[in-house]
Amino acid sequence: MITLADVRAAAARIAGQVVRTPAIRCDAISRVVGADVTLKLENLQATGAFKERGAANRLALLTDEERRAGVIAMSAGNHAQAVARHAMLSQTSAVIVMPKHTPATKVTRTASWGARVVLHGDTLADAAAHAVELAAREGLVFVHPYDDPAVMAGQGTLALELLEDAPDLDMLVIPVGGGGLIAGCAVAAAGVKPGIEVIGVEVAAYAALAQRLAGQPVSVGGATIAEGIAVRDIGETPLKVIRAYVADVVVIPERAVEEAIALLAEGAKIVAEGAGAAGIAALLAFPDRFAGRKIGVPICGGNIDPRILANVLLRNLLRDARLVRLVLEIPDRPGVLAEIAGRIGNAGGNIIDVSHHRLFASPSVQTAELEVMFEARDPAHGAEITRNLEQNFTLRRI
């Protein structure tokens, strides 16, 4: 297993190559979840994620012969960008294999660091198999995203910095994909502050660690916004460390991840991707488990597609009833649309969209159907506007 000495050596090795990201106490998150929450902002790394740490340490350990041969990695995005960047900085050629459906943002950014990007397969496992094949064929050095002691030690520098900046923490809540981050951080945390509790977080569709720890066969798959931790199984090397140092793992629903992304954006003014927000999602999903604790949570990455971020924020507005969609049955006469718009506007609502159907949607030729979407200040305000409309028109909420 890696040791605290390995993590400290990695910290010295990568100093100046990665950002020493800030650790900030976040009042907006703390008040919502009922805990004292400190965020480690890894979304501020040059490639937007913590993966810089492990990649920088692994590439720093290449021999001259390995450096001349070049490196290859497989990744859904963040490890890809990290390897590509540090290969460029060390003047080493890099090939990155990514699943075909990797978000365009991550593909473009990886290529921008000078790597040759190969899109292959539908899953990370497919990409990994192809990367191993290419490594053998072209004589490249394979840089694994998590099942590598040097990568794990590099990731552990996150916890080293976090506990230097916030030594009073009594718990770390860390997202889990392949296990490299939580393994490295758990070793660092145990060495720096014995007794600190380390909790892993997995998304429901990819709960491989929870299944392994429970002695169950691993069964994962499905769509998730947390694609950065959508890993088929835990690495065997990290798993040994996790069994020794990690107290527990919680499995979060998909909706909690969306809520965490929105809370970070609106409340903390921080942009996080799904995997990067998973730690906060755990606090939202299991408030009793974390209440009253002093918790450190890494915001692991901020590489979220703008379209996905926009959709998440809009879906959250709908769930919170700050964005209200109604269908009204209205009399088919002049002035009705203006009356409805006036009622919403005079009450302080902001109309976002209107769709008026006269011919087919209405049950009577004397009526029409109006679909309206408006923005309210909060759920109570939305309910007030809805009651006002309900007094004068037949309506249903969508």
Assess whether 197 and 334 both reside in one domain.
Answer: no
For residue 397, give the H/E element and its range: strand 394-397
Q: What is the pLDDT of residues 236-255, one digit of tens each?
A: 999 999 999 999 999 999 99
Same domain, 55 and 43: no
Looking at the structure, tell me whether residues 388 and 372 fall in a common domain: yes
Domain membership flag for residue 16: yes
* Most confidently modeled range among 123-132, 207-216, 351-360, 366-375: 207-216
Residues 62 and 124 in one domain: yes
Statement: residue 358 has pLDDT above 70: no
Same domain, 343 and 355: yes
Would you say residue 160 lies in a domain? yes
Residues 248 and 338 in one domain: no
Asked if residue 224 and residue 351 are part of one domain, the reply reads: no
Token pair of 193 as six digits: 């502050």
Same domain, 309 and 332: no
Same-domain status, 56 and 30: no
Beta-sheet pairing, 116-119 with 94-98: parallel
Residues 372, 270 within the same domain: no
- The tens digit of pLDDT for each residue in 118-133 reads 999 987 778 889 999 9
Distance (Å, rounded) from C-alpha 364 to C-alpha 307? 39
The structure's pTM equals: 0.89
Distance CA 20, CA 181 (A): 16
Across-strand partners of 248?
199
Check which CATH number belongs to the domain holding 342 and give it: 3.30.70.260
CB atoms within 10 A of CB 246: 26
pLDDT tens digit sequence for 134-175: 999 999 999 999 999 999 999 999 999 999 999 999 999 999
Question: Residue 151 falls within a domain, yes or no?
Answer: no
What values do phi and psi take at 181, rounded to 5? Answer: -65, -50
Does residue 340 sit within a domain? Answer: yes
Quick one: 124 and 169 in the same domain? Answer: no
On the question of pLDDT at 85 being above 80, the answer is yes
Residues 96 and 175 in one domain: no
Domain count, the chain: 3
- CA 58 and chain centroid, separation: 24
The reply to whether 148 falls in a domain is: no
What is the CATH classification number for the domain harbouring 277?
3.40.50.1100
Residue 362: give the domain boundaries: 321-397
Last residue of a domain, one of 260, 294, 315: 315
180 belongs to a structural domain: yes
Q: Kindly report the average pLDDT of the chain as a whole number.
A: 93
Gyration radius of the chain's alpha carbons? 25
